[in-house]
Structure 1
Amino acid sequence: MSILAIDVSKSSLAFYSDFIGSGVVENSPQGIFDLFDKATSNSNDFSLVLESTGIYSFDVANYFSNHSIPVFWVKTDNMKYYRKILNRPKTDKIDAKLIFDIASKFKDSLVPFVNNSYIINELRNLTRLYLKFNEDIARLKLRLYSYVALYFPNLNFKLNKTYESLLKDFTVEEISNMPVEELFEYIAKISRHNVSSKLLAEKLKELAKNALRLRPSHSNTLRLSIVSTIELIQHYEKQIKLVKSEIEKLIKRIPNTLVTVKGIGEVTAAGIIAEIGDIKRFNNASALASYAGLVWSVNQSGNFQSEDNKLTKKGNKYLRTYLVMAANSLRFHNPVFKDYYRKKFSQSHSHHHMRALILSARKLVNLVFYLLKTNTPYVIQK
């Protein structure tokens, strides 16, 4: 069978083959059509091989696959090995000729393109958006707390419906001048009596008066900043609910056993699966850990080994984030990870929590690899 190898970039598809030669077309619908027409006009017995580059490689892989052409990915975690065997300097860029040589000499290591890749790509978009929204909310909350500290000093502000409504509906002056019974009734209605409304009303009036004594002329722009930030946070929270709902629908279409682990919810499982893609791309858990960037630089001399070693900061940051999120949840819900976290926490001389958490995430990689590889439900080993 002949081979058509493609080096995919955002704007172009550089190809190399043993039946149509080499060249470059645009990475666009027309470019894909032209390349497919050129290839099928010369042969109907060939396979397409390319490196997985996310959204840029999906359209061409999907089009050829939908037209009955076998499509394969090159395993990215073995690139160093391929280069060494093929005598290609590590400084050489990955190109169509290298992909062709790999496909020709290491056919057993190629990973078949799975037709549910479009679901993976949709999940990847949504799970990354989910993280982005949460990061944006975290920044907005920090900004909101700083605004409130300036506008309403000494207020033990909490981001909940009661405080949000109070700051949106009333100024500090209005709270200070409002009869305590009226303020009490307002708080009781908003909080549905979930807080000690009378005590809170009295406390708020006292704090409002002290705030006015400290700063008689309160800034209207500062209050506007507070109200606008609260509304932005509420908007983001609504969007997160929508994104979460879509993620939960999509992950149900991908058979997996990650969700059988108590502490790993559907969104976290979706984030991990979306970034890994086909688990067959990885030979072992170590390769997966390297892909996630859960490996450390070495700082060792003689019998001394530093605990301040940093993560390499290489690898897939989204996968690393979801693995750490999952590990943080498992330390509360899973006895195996709870014990492991406590052990590593007690063994650390510095950065106790973060060191124990990252090591737990690395341990989790082994479990994730096993569950995705075998597709067996999780059972706690006693």
Structure 2
Amino acid sequence: MNPVIGLDVSKGESHAQAFSDRGTPYGKTFRFKHDLDGLASFLRYLQDLESFTRQRPAVVLEATGHYHSPVIQFLDEHPYLYIIINPFLSHQAKKSQLRKVKTDVADAYQLGEMFYKEELEPYKKRGQYLMNLRYLTRQYESLTGMYVQAKLQFQAVLDQVFPEYHGVFGDLYSKVSLRFLALYPTSQSVLAMSENDVTVRIQHLVGHVNSNRWSLERAQKLIAAAERNPFRETAFPSHLIALELLINLLLQYQEHLAKLDQSIEALAEELQEYDLVQSIPGIGTKIAATILAEIGEIDRFDHAKKLVAFAGIDPSVFSSGKFTATRNKITKRGSRRLRTALYQAVRCGLKGSRNKRIRAYYDKKRAEGKLFKVAVIACANKLLHWIFAILTKKEAFILD
């Protein structure tokens, strides 16, 4: 016998269908909640099938974001073999059926049948470091998106209060710039002070003894900007309230992003592969951490082409009869975050010809008439092959 349990996971609960062997369902579909009592009953369900077949059953389930985390941790603790499949594969299997049925019970049954029809590989644990790294890099990406949105809102409000403030400080979003603006948000509040007072205020915010000249220059630019400003006071007090809230929000985002950045770097430095991936010109600390976190254990892929498919940068194929398409888009069915990291790595490598091998390959593709994005994706494909070789051989990249 070859027992398996198909598991359809949803928020807070799952439906399980057991098979003692191919084409032989065992019992009825079993529903359990993701709490202690529910998982305990699922364990008895597993043990009952194991006792009947005299073999330890495998468990097949779809990747469902964080919904399946309680079940996975439970299976690791006991330990049962489990297989996590891409939802796209199960969706394709459902499409091949004549009857279109979509229920949790039917999904659990279909997942169990896939175990016998498809060549599914057991899930290999990524390890605590990689799982933590993935979570942190994704949190960083999410928080960065919110930070960018807050910056856009901040600029919109600033343009209605103190538009000439842009360009006073080298970085509008530096702590000194934001904190000064929080204290003096209008041109009138700036012009009410002397040049010396403004310099002292900036000096105090900077906190460096040797910044007197820089503070004086900023004060002079600030006063000049206040004099050019089209209005002294805003006609809408609500703008000042919004500006204060957004400044505080931006400072909080900066603090949280800095903490995440430190945590990511500290965790990534525990991995040998971290330095190996950074040996490729154009790949810095953040991109390297994201690439490692998204790939996980490299031994999940026995060929570079499988890693390319996982990233979703493999070309789609379309042919019918004697016709075969020659211009195909990439599949985009893999990890979006990995694709983004590879794209950034290629752009960094091309900038200033930092990565000469990538630059040469890019120039070759452009000379062949490829469009910019097509050439960059080709470079990303090439880059991922190098990363696969580096991670499997445990050798640093050699730039010819």
TM-score (norm 1): 0.78
Q: Is the 8 A contact 1:148 1:226 kept in 2?
A: yes
Deviation, structure 1 residue 199:
3.8
Deviation string 1:214-239 (CA, Å, 9 cap, x unpaired) is 32432443233233222211101111
Residue 167, structure 1, aligned to residue 167, structure 2: no
User: Cα gap change, 1:314/1:244 in structure 2, threshold over 3 Å: closer, same or farther?
Assistant: same
Deviation, structure 1 residue 130:
0.6
Deviation string 1:291-320 (CA, Å, 9 cap, x unpaired) is 4333567999x9x988xx876554432332
Which residue does 2:116 correspond to in 1? 104
Q: Is the 8 A contact 2:390 2:397 kept in 1?
A: no
Which residue does 1:17 correspond to in 2? 18
- Residue of 24, 34, 50 corresponding to 1:43: 50
Deviation, structure 1 residue 88:
4.4
Deviation, structure 1 residue 178:
1.9
SS in 2 for 1:2: coil
Which residue does 2:349 correspond to in 1? 330
User: Cα gap change, 1:285/1:27 in structure 2, threshold over 3 Å: closer, same or farther?
Assistant: farther
Which residue does 1:141 correspond to in 2? 151
Alignment map for 1:1-382 (pairs within 5 Å): 2-11=2-11, 12-19=13-20, 20-29=26-35, 30-43=37-50, 45-53=55-63, 54-74=65-85, 88=97, 95-106=107-118, 109-114=120-125, 116=127, 119-157=129-167, 158-170=172-184, 171-191=186-206, 192=208, 193=211, 196-211=214-229, 214-219=230-235, 220-252=237-269, 256=273, 257-282=276-301, 284-294=303-313, 314-332=333-351, 333-341=354-362, 352=372, 356-372=375-391, 374-382=392-400
| Counterpart residue type for residue 210 of structure 1 | R
Q: Is the 8 A contact 1:173 1:208 kept in 2?
A: yes
| Counterpart residue type for residue 38 of structure 1 | Y
Deviation, structure 1 residue 127:
1.8
What is the distance in 1 between the residues matched to 2:270 and 2:201?
Answer: 47
What is the distance in 2 between the residues matched to 1:247 and 1:10?
Answer: 30
Deviation, structure 1 residue 135:
0.9
User: Cα gap change, 1:342/1:146 in structure 2, threshold over 3 Å: closer, same or farther?
Assistant: farther
Deviation, structure 1 residue 82:
7.1
SS in 1 for 2:163: coil
Deviation, structure 1 residue 74:
4.3
SS in 1 for 2:6: strand
What is the distance in 2 between the residues matched to 1:311 and 1:172?
Answer: 52
What is the distance in 2 between the residues matched to 1:312 and 1:250?
Answer: 32
What is the distance in 1 between the residues matched to 2:379 and 2:343?
Answer: 8
Structure 1, 260-269 or 228-237: larger mean CA deviation? 260-269
SS in 2 for 1:244: helix
Q: Is the 8 A contact 1:327 1:360 kept in 2?
A: yes
| Counterpart residue type for residue 379 of structure 2 | S
| Counterpart residue type for residue 179 of structure 1 | S
SS in 2 for 1:111: coil
Q: How many residues align?
A: 370
What is the distance in 2 between the residues matched to 1:225 and 1:346?
Answer: 51
TM-score (norm 2): 0.75
SS in 2 for 1:215: coil
Q: Is the 8 A contact 2:188 2:233 kept in 1?
A: no
What is the distance in 2 between the residues matched to 1:152 and 1:38?
Answer: 67
What is the distance in 1 between the residues matched to 2:299 and 2:100?
Answer: 26
User: Cα gap change, 1:62/1:6 in structure 2, threshold over 3 Å: closer, same or farther?
Assistant: farther
What is the distance in 2 between the residues matched to 1:245 and 1:113?
Answer: 28
Deviation, structure 1 residue 342:
5.2
User: Cα gap change, 1:231/1:357 in structure 2, threshold over 3 Å: closer, same or farther?
Assistant: farther
Q: Is the 8 A contact 1:297 1:312 kept in 2?
A: yes
Q: Is the 8 A contact 2:18 2:29 kept in 1?
A: no
| Counterpart residue type for residue 231 of structure 2 | R
Deviation string 1:248-281 (CA, Å, 9 cap, x unpaired) is 3444555534344354345433333333344455
Deviation string 1:189-209 (CA, Å, 9 cap, x unpaired) is 544428744443233222212
Q: Is the 8 A contact 2:60 2:115 kept in 1?
A: no
User: Cα gap change, 1:76/1:207 in structure 2, threshold over 3 Å: closer, same or farther?
Assistant: closer
| Counterpart residue type for residue 74 of structure 2 | Y
Q: Is the 8 A contact 2:304 2:384 kept in 1?
A: yes
What is the distance in 1 between the residues matched to 2:99 and 2:360?
Answer: 42
Aligned-residue CA RMSD in angstroms?
3.9
What is the distance in 1 between the residues matched to 2:111 and 2:39?
Answer: 18
What is the distance in 2 between the residues matched to 1:342 and 1:198?
Answer: 48
Deviation, structure 1 residue 99:
3.3
SS in 2 for 1:217: coil
Deviation, structure 1 residue 77:
7.6
Q: Which runs of 5+ in 2 are unaligned?
A: 21-25
Deviation, structure 1 residue 28:
0.4
What is the distance in 1 between the residues matched to 2:173 and 2:357?
Answer: 34
Deviation, structure 1 residue 134:
0.7
